[in-house]
Amino acid sequence: MAAHKQSSFLLLSLLIISLCKSSQAAGIAIYWGQNSNEGSLADTCATGNYQYVNIAFLSTFGNGQTAVLNLAGHCNPSANTCTRFSSEIKACQGRGIKVLLSIGGGAGSYSLSSADDAKQVANYLWNTYLGGNSNSRPLGDAVLDGIDFDIELGSTQHYDELARSLNGFSQQKKVYLAAAPQCPFPDAHLDTAIKTGLFDYVWVQFYNNPGCQYSGNANNLLNSWKTWTAVQAKQVFLGLPAATAAAPSGGFIPADVLKSQVLPSIKTSPKYGGVMIWNKNFDNGYSASIKSAV
């Protein structure tokens, strides 16, 4: 009887471990929304290549400004034509894909003037895109899974307060938090936010940054990766361009090189979460060619 109990306990332990591992399975994150020729959101999710989709961007927010969703030709939020994506968001989520709203980007007008401003922006995001309620929901009644911080401009202040305020809503419904820092460490805009330890995903931009990206060899990238895996985040992702045209200042890694020279090394980190790709418009086969190795 004792031996039977012992073996049952062992089997249960192995099952729990396998379930934990499968729930943390690596995946590919993609940015969608910045080119009208990249196809629909539903088609993006239907490829089966992605586990995370960042809808980009909420390009204006904070500091008393009226928030602006800029989906670059896909729809016009002021004419209420972006609500059609509600059913597509739900279709993506039905496939088990997490859909986040990316705030910031490389162009726009955004900043946080104070801790109170950060709290107001968090309330706006919760009510307008997440689990709250608002008369104005640009993406309709779909409830997004979280918020991605792609902060590349303006003030570096108060994004830690924004993260804390958003995380506070997780008592009602889990709000996943992601960050997209540049690979030079620490990131100028997101360091204090990441140090809160509240981020589920940190997808580091290893492109357009010559000092820490792939440039014929992976030495600089791999050294930078080791630094990044020490941050307080649940998972860290390798952020890459989907093609050379996606990153004018470099960082593209051919799929065969990525699979043979980079992934085997970075996958040894317990914080490895997968690969982030910029962006859907340029991803003409890149994700498909690497997904089995991710």
Q: Report the candidate in 181, 182, 243 with the shortest Cα–Cα distance to residue 210.
A: 182
8-state DSSP, 143? -
Q: Report the candidate in 106, 109, 75 with the shortest Cα–Cα distance to residue 89.
A: 75
Establish whether 161 is a catalytic residue: no
Q: What DSSP letter does each residue of 158-224 carry, written as one string?
A: SHHHHHHHHHHGGGTS--EEEE--BSSSS-TTTHHHHTTS--SEEEEE-SS-GGGS-SSSSHHHHHH
Active-site residue identified among 38, 88, 152, 161:
152
The helix or strand, by DSSP H or E, that contains position 58, with its residue range, turns out to be strand 52-61
Q: Mention every residue, 6+ apart, whose C-beta is less than 8 A from residue 141.
A: 86
Three-class SS string for 211-229?
A: HHCCCCCCHHHHHHHHHHC
Give residue 17's region: left, alpha or beta (phi > 0; psi -120 to 50).
Answer: alpha
Catalytic residue positions, numbered: 152
